[in-house]
C-alpha cells in the first residue's frame, strides 16, 4: 500500500520520475477502454506529457487500498501480488475545466516488488468533456 500511496503523492506533486520509481522496465499500463502503453520509458513519457501539457493539477482523496495475493487465477489476472485501489480524482486541465470521478486501479507486482501491470478503470467521457475548449 505504501508504494501506491507514495506513487499518487508523487504524481500529484508533478514528480512523474518519482512515481515511476516503482515500475518495472517491462511494465504495461492499460485502461478499461482498450488503450495501453508498454514499457517504463513509454509510460513515463506519456505521463510527463499529460502532467506538463494537459493537466494543470491533480489530487486524490477518499482512498481505499486492498493488497491481495492471487494463488490461482480465475481469468485474465496473473498470479502473485496485486494492489487494488479506489480513489476520487480531482483534475484541473489546462483548458481551465475540471473533472472529478472515482477511479479504480489494479497494480500487479513482479518478484522484485516492481509494478509490471496496471489496469485502470475510469469514465473516459468525463475526461473528454473536460478537454474540450
Q: Kindly list the structural domains of the chain, giving each domain's residue range(s) and its CATH number in brackets, ordered by start.
A: 2-131 (3.10.450.50)
CA distance to 24, 52, 112, 133, per residue, from 14 (Å): 20, 8, 26, 23
Eight-state DSSP code of residue 111: T
From first to last of its 133 residues, what are the pLDDT tens digits of the chain?
Answer: 999 999 999 999 999 999 999 999 999 999 998 899 999 999 999 999 999 999 999 999 999 999 999 988 887 677 889 999 999 999 999 999 999 999 999 999 999 999 999 999 999 999 999 998 7
Strand blocks (E) in 1-133: 23-31, 36-38, 55-70, 80-93, 98-109, 115-121
pTM, to two decimals: 0.91
Q: What is the pLDDT of residue 53?
A: 95
Amino acid at each position: 500500500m505504501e508504494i501506491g500511496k507514495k506513487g499518487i503523492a508523487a504524481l500529484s506533486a508533478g514528480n512523474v520520475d518519482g512515481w515511476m520509481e516503482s515500475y518495472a522496465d517491462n511494465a504495461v499500463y492499460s485502461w478499461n477502454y482498450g488503450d495501453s502503453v508498454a514499457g517504463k520509458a513509454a509510460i513515463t513519457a506519456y505521463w510527463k506529457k499529460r502532467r506538463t501539457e494537459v493537466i494543470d493539477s491533480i489530487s486524490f482523496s477518499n482512498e481505499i487500498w486492498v493488497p491481495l495475493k492471487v494463488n490461482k487465477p480465475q481469468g485474465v489476472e496473473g498470479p502473485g501480488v496485486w494492489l487494488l485501489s479506489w480513489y476520487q480524482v480531482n483534475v484541473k486541465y489546462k483548458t481551465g475545466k475540471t473533472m472529478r470521478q472515482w477511479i479504480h486501479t489494479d497494480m500487479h507486482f513482479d518478484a522484485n516488488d516492481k509494478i509490471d501491470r496496471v489496469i485502470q478503470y475510469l469514465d473516459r467521457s468525463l475526461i473528454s468533456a473536460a478537454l474540450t475548449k
